[in-house]
Amino acid sequence: MHDMVRRNPPVVPADTSPDVWRRQMAAIAARSPAERLAEWTEFNAAMSRLEAEAVRRRHPDYDDDQVLRALVRHRYGDELTRAAWPDRALVEP
């Protein structure tokens, strides 16, 4: 068994068979670091888009600036949001 497979959590998701889980972990381990980094970057970009879309659904009246401030507030909290925009009111995430 490949080292990366052994380092993964021993808990197999309830909706995945142990055999499929082992093959999935082996497939991930077989990818190069550059490939895994590219996948990670793509995944994070997709999650950021989904998060922004969720803010827009909750607050259809927000402009792009308000969406950004809502995302920052959600991710980093009130203190950093106020530090970044000291002259702007907090918006709901």
Residue-wise pLDDT for 60-84, tens only, equals: 999 999 999 999 999 999 999 999 9
Q: At what angle do helices 33-58 and 64-84 cross, to 10 degrees?
A: 100
Q: Do the Cβ atoms of 70 and 92 come closer than 8 Å?
A: yes
Among the listed ranges 9-18, 38-47, 77-86, which one has the minimum average pLDDT value? 9-18
pTM of the model: 0.69
Structure tokens at 21: 């889980």
